[in-house]
Amino acid sequence: MEFIVLASGSKGNATYLEIGNHKILIDCGLSYKQIKLRLAEKGKNLDGLSKVFITHEHSDHVKDLSMVAKNHDVDIYLSEGTLSHLKKKIKYEIDVRKFKPVLQEETLEFDGYQVMPFMVYHDAYEPFGYKFVENQKSIVYMTDTGYFPERKYHLVNNAEAYIIESNHEVEMLLESKRPWLLKRRILDDEGHLSNEDSANLLLNLAGEKTKVIVLAHLSEECNIETRALETYNKVFLEQGVDIYSYRIVVAKQDKATEIISIS
């Protein structure tokens, strides 16, 4: 398995995943043109794209879904709640037969790999994260969540790679010029994970198989890469964990990550 986070943040999200000969997108919140350009920079393309997994209906995750569906013969996997609350402009430009509603924690079996949707906690109608598994190796995609309950840890623990939200530094958020109601929304259990909460959650999920951590959905106004990394380092150090035993990558809004392979 290998993946590229093409864009991550409030202006658009899209991640490209290859499993064997299968090409997959997670979210289509980046323009179709930019998806293709950023893939081409890495020597990749969307030829043969077969599946799209949507986390939730917010525009920064589905903005160009209809264009992707128009240009590729894809199945679109998403929750019933997400499907029912897609904007009409997006929903009705797509052949209804392409939509494949799925249930949380119900494993989907494909040719040589499995995908398990799981509930995350965000102010959307039925948001999902996804766990992709091939030959007992897994990648967990978890963004746009205000928290994740301990009773669910077993669903996604000890993955080889995590793409996990590290949205804001609390102090920067509170001191920002954002309206108080927006600050409350972000800090809420159905908002976004702070750097510290992200690091603590990751430590509870990571296991001996875990090698790669991608910090995703960083706020451009209330976070910076150095603060996210400093907070992760602080939390890991406090828990007696060697952060240098992991490969840590920070996903960006304006450019793609390198190709990250899980073997």
Q: What is the per-residue pLDDT across 128-137, written as a single tens digit (0 to 9) for each? A: 999 999 999 9
Answer whether residue 170 is part of any domain: yes
pLDDT of residue 149: 93
Task: Tell whether 261 is covered by a domain.
Answer: no
How many domains in the chain?
A: 1
Mean of pLDDT values over 83-96: 93
Residue 226 pLDDT exceeds 90: yes
Q: Is residue 262 part of a domain?
A: no
Domain assignment of residue 55, yes or no: yes
Reported as a pLDDT band with limits 50, 70 and 90, residue 177 is: confident
Task: Identify the domain containing residue 43 by its residue range.
Answer: 2-256
| Residue-level pLDDT at 191 | 73
pTM, two decimals, is 0.94
Per the domain annotation, does 58 fall within a domain?
A: yes
Tell me the average pLDDT of the chain. 93
Q: Which residue has the higher pLDDT, 46 or 177?
A: 46
**Mean pLDDT value across residues 91-119:** 96
pLDDT score, position 256: 98
Q: For position 148, which CATH number holds?
A: 3.60.15.10
For residue 89, name the pLDDT band (cuts at 50, 70, 90).
confident
Is residue 159 included in any domain, yes or no?
yes
Residue 54: inside a domain = yes
Could you tell me the pLDDT band of residue 178, with boundaries at 50, 70 and 90? confident
Q: How confident is the model at residue 69 (pLDDT cuts 50, 70, 90)?
A: very high
Q: Within a domain: residue 206?
A: yes
Q: Which residue's entry shows tokens 């989907």?
A: 108
Residue 14 has pLDDT above 70, yes or no: yes
- Please report the pLDDT score of residue 183 as a whole number: 74
